[in-house]
Each structure stands twice: as structure tokens, then as C-alpha cells.
Amino acid sequence: MNTTLRLAAVTALYRQGGYGREFYIVHRSRQLPFLGGFHALPGGSVDIADHELPVERARSRSAFVAAGIRELFEEAGVLLALGAEHLSQAQLDDGRKAVLERSQTFATFLNHHTLTLDGEGLVPIGVWVTPPYSRTMFEAQYFAVALPEGQTPSIWPGELDHGEWLTAPAALARHAMGELFLAYPVLKTLEAFAQAGAFSEICTQLAAREPGPPLIGAELLTGVQILPLLSPTLPPATRTNCYILGGPELVVVDPAPPEPAEQANLLQFVRTLEQQGRYVREIWLSHHHPDHIGAAATLSRELRVGIAAHPATAEVLAGKLTVTRLLCDGDVTELPMLMGPPARWRALHTPGHARGHLCFYEERLHTLLSGDTVVTNGTVVVPPHEGGMRAYLASLRRLLQLELGFMLPSHGPPVALARERIQRYLDHRAERELAIVRALSQPKTIETLAMEIYAGLAPGAMKLAQINIAAHLDKLIEEAKVEQKGSCFQNVI
């Protein structure tokens, strides 16, 4: 898989408020494909044109500085430029509007008002590389920036919904309560700023750390660590997210990798947790597929812990992997946390992708481990013999009944907008079903039907599409909307 690395710049804009240093936290629009619905800091990709912008006094690579200043101007209306003090608010607003509408480039705007970007205020506070969840990865340079005197940030609806000034401890407390969702690097940056110590020293420490997060193991929410590990999964995904839940006592969900090298990475990560006095209590499986259980036997042996899964999963794995405890729908496991009340993880039987599929739902913060029921990289295959399309759709509808916070899938990055994502899956299935019924005004085989509905798919993906079509056809036959004649199907309308 070819991965594209895109450069980005992010600015932690701060000011001195009544309760200490406050940061400008923006809420990313729910429509954005990357980190939609998350709370973040102003920022975005480095444009080619950013390399040519006039920058003075930059303390870091000037394209990052230029991109950081441009994004801060576009997203929050704050301009760090020599000469900006001579511009009226109306001139700034007109320029921002023109740049956002692309009727004028940022370079032209600067040129027109003889402005030079001022990099002095942008203090580098570290580089973050997104984990390899998907094909596009971002390498983001973070900066701390003091709000220039006389300027006030403002959000114009578009990529961002709103912004607010929050102290680092206040933002972290709201994240811990599940009230706002901080993207991981923002979380770590604010955690650093919430510590005691001189601001400039914290900036230096942040700038000196290795670009992260570390390849494996990042605590995204309190008591939820995510490890995207290499696994033999369906393309475009190449990894399965293994989750480690809990505080002093831990549960490893879906130890995925079958490859010894990647298994060693997982084991090493667990050992570092053990060095902190924490220990693994059990292994949980969302379902039986090879890209979810590759390291289960190794880990169970090395850590001397049992494996829990749904009875249907235990049944398919019998003879290959021993499930030592059955997890049934509604079973709740309490995991004490390092601080605060224990987490309560409820197993939800969600068949469709696999007969014994379990999602895990944390009742207090409403975090959902969605397994392979809803993913954010790739598509979900619904093999007819695993419960079928009716069971799958019922599972999705059931998830929608929950109060939902963060959703953490087995493949792809976490999502803040669980409800929308699940609804989109249901809408998509309904559209597919309608397309199938329409296409069957004449008798057709599954192969012809797949070619027609999924025109242009690669052969490998076409096979998977056929499986999902077969699942839809089973459902439509049960509902007497379609009938089968030999190898052909036709609608009954």
C-alpha cells in the first residue's frame, strides 16, 4: 500500500485569561472527512503556495510557519504579519472572505497590503505524525502562538462550527467526561500545558519529543489505549486496531497480528504497562476472524490469561483456540481506573459480519468499540451464513439506540460522530437494496448484478461486493420482494 504523507501546521493560540492561560479550541465541522466533530486547534495542510510566501523571523521551516499563519487567518481571522496593525477590521474581514472564497490568493492579499508574515510569534511545540490508520497520513508541526494585541479570533461557519477559550485543565476535564473529543496530539499538548512549570520550558520539552504518537499504543481516552497493528485484513485496511482497556487491571481486545515481529511489538507494549504496575486480566475477542485473533494464543500463553468471547465465536474456534469464558449479550465487566469511578464495559451481541460478533460499550462515557460492525477504513462484509443482512441491519439499529460518544472501530481512525456514521451505514444498505430490486426487473445472476451495481470495482473487491449482494438477496427473498429461478434472481413487483 502506498501511503501519502501530507504536511500540516497547527497553532495553539493562547491568551492570558482570568483563570490562567487559555487556548483557543475549535470545533471541527461534522462534515469534515478528517477528524470531523473533533475539538482541535486551528490548522491544516501545507499548500504548495505556502513555500513561496514571504516570512520573516521564522523559528522553524518557513513553509510550516507560513501554513500555520495562513490557517490561523483563514480559520480564526487572526493575522500574524508585519504591517497588519495598519489594517482595519473591515480590510481584514474582506481579505479573509476573498481568500476563503478563493477569489484571491493569500499571497495576493499580503502583496496588496504590503504585508510580510511574522514568524517570530510561532514557537515550535512538536511534530505529530498520524498513526497508519489509512492511506493518507499527516505530519503536523505544532506551534504555540500568543494572541496578538488588538485581535480577536472569530469562527466563520464552514470547516469549523465554533471556537472557545479554555484553560488546558478545563479542556482536559471535559474530554475526560466525554463532553468534547480532543484529537490525540491536542490531548497530549494540553496535558503538557496543564502541568506545573514555566510555559517556555514546556514548549521546549514538547518540541524535543520524538514525532508521535509512538507507532503502537496511545491512550486516546482515559483507560482506552489504541494500537493499530499489522494484520492480514481486507484492503484498503492493512491493520487491525487492538484496544487495551482499563487502569490497573487491563483487558486486551482483539490481539490481531499473526506475524511474530508485530506480536513482539504488542507484547513489548504490554510489558511496559506491566512495569507501571498494571497487569492484563483477560483477552477479549470481538469475533473469530483471523485478522482479530492472530496473537491471541501467543498472548494468552505469555501472559497466562484466559480468552473471553461470545459462545458462537467459541464454537467456530473450537479446536484452534480455547475460549475460557463466554461473554454473552448484556454481560458487564467493571474495570477499575487509575482515577475516578470504574469503567463498565457491556458486551453487545451484534451479529451480521460474524455470528458471534460483539461490540463493547462503556456505559459511563458512552464509548463504543464497534469491532467490524462499523469501520472507518474499508467496507463491512456481511456473509449470508453469519446471521445475514437482517441481523446486520438489526445490529446497526440497536447501536443507534445507545447514547453514543466516541466510536472506536477495528479498522481505521476513531470517530467523534458515531451516530451519523452508523446512520450512514444504514442509509447506504437501504440504497443498495433499492438498487438491487430495481436492477432485477429482468432475471440476472449475482455476477451480472454485481457488475451492474458496482461498475468499475477491482476484481478482489468485486468478490466481496457479491457476498454483500447475496446477503441482500437472501433478505429480499425472505421478504418476498425477489424470487430465485435457477441461478437467476428477479423482482416480484
List of residues 6+ apart from 214 with CB closer than 8 A: none
Buried b (16+ CB within 10 A) or exposed e, 82-117: eebeebeeeebeebbebbeeeebebbebbeebebeb
Cβ distance to Zn ion smaller for residue 289 or 444 = 289
Closer CB to Zn ion, residue 27 or residue 289?
A: 289
The position carrying cell 454481560 is: 331
- Residue with Cβ nearer Zn ion (337 or 467): 467
Q: Nearest approach, Cβ of 56 to Zn ion (angstroms)?
A: 54
Q: Which is nearer to Zn ion, 233 or 466 (CB)?
A: 233
Least distance from Zn ion to the Cβ atom of residue 360, Å? 15
Taking the C-alpha atoms of residue 214 and residue 226, their distance in angstroms, rounded to an integer, is 11
- Which residue's CB is nearer to Zn ion, number 232 or number 342? 232
Q: Closest distance between Zn ion and the C-beta of residue 317, in Å?
A: 13
CB of 353 to Zn ion, least distance (A): 6
- Cβ 336 to Zn ion, closest distance in Å? 30
Q: Pseudo-torsion of CA 92, 98, 104, 109, nearest 10°?
A: 0
Which of 340, 341, 360 lies closest to 350 in space, CA to CA? 360
Burial class (CB in 10 A: 0-12, 13-18, 19+), 333: buried
Query: Which of residues 96 and 411 has its CB atom nearest to Zn ion in the complex?
Result: 411
Cell of 272: 511496559
Task: Give the footprint of Zn ion on this chain (CB under 5 A).
Answer: 289, 372
CA distance 42 to 70: 10
Least Cβ distance, residue 154 to Zn ion (angstroms) = 46
Amino acid at the residue 463: K
Q: Residue 330: left (phi > 0), alpha (psi -120 to 50), or beta?
A: left
Angle among Cα 131, 136, 137 to the nearest 5 degrees reads 35
Q: Nearer Cβ to Zn ion, position 172 or 358?
A: 358
Three-state SS annotation for 129-197:
ECCCCCCEEEEEEEEEEECCCCCCCCCCECCEEEEEEEEHHHHHHHHHCCCCCECHHHHHHHHHHHCCC
Residue 49 neighbours by CB under 8 Å, 6+ apart = 105, 106, 107
Residue 381 Cβ, how far from Zn ion at the closest point, in Å?
A: 8
Of 60 and 240, nearer to Zn ion (C-beta) is 240
Taking the complex as a whole, the smallest distance from the CB of residue 378 to Zn ion amounts, in Å, to 10
Closest-CA residue to 416 (of 186, 235, 217)? 186
* Closer of 175 and 289 to Zn ion (Cβ): 289
> For residues 378 and 413, which CB has a smaller minimum distance to Zn ion in the complex?
378
Judged by CB, which is closer to Zn ion: 289, or 421? 289
Give me the least distance between CB of 359 and Zn ion, in Å please: 12
Smallest separation (angstroms) from Zn ion to the CB of 370 = 12
H or E stretch at 252: strand 249-253
Nearest distance, CB of residue 374 and Zn ion, angstroms? 12
Cα–Cα dist 461/465, whole Å: 6
Asked if the bond preceding 257 is cis, omega within 30° of 0, the reply is: no
C-beta closer to Zn ion: residue 70 or 289: 289
Pairing of strands 368-371, 407-409: parallel
Which letter, b or e, does each residue of 478-491 get, where b requires 16 or more Cβ atoms within 10 Å of its Cβ?
Answer: eeebbeeeeeebeb
Residue nearest to Zn ion (CB): 289
Q: How far is the CB of 69 from Zn ion (least distance, A)?
A: 45
The DSSP symbol for 211 reads S
Q: What is the DSSP string of 69-110?
A: HHHHHHHH----EETGGGS-HHHHHHHHHHHHTTSS-HHHHH
